[in-house]
Amino acid sequence: MQMTRLIPMLPVKSMPASVAFYEKLGFAVETRNDQWRWAMLRWGNGS
């Protein structure tokens, strides 16, 4: 079996501030749920 994707889960104090930080690094929001306080970001093509 070959791993094709790794998704780390990182707890943060401020999700909006953390998303903004990672966007400045070149990440893009793939999906986000502000009510549940989580976001999935992607960098590059993911492969």
Please, which residues bridge with residue 31 across strands?
Answer: 40
Q: Which residues contact 38 (CB under 8 A, 6 or more apart)?
A: 15, 32
Residue type at position 4: T
The pLDDT score that the predictor gives to residue 46 is 56
**DSSP type of residue 13:** S
Average pLDDT of 32-44?
Answer: 88
3-28 pLDDT, tens digit per residue, is 887 788 888 999 999 999 999 999 99
In the chain the beta strands, taken as DSSP E runs, fall at 28-33, 38-42
pTM confidence score: 0.72
Q: What span, in angstroms and rounded, lies between the C-alpha atoms of 2 and 16?
A: 33
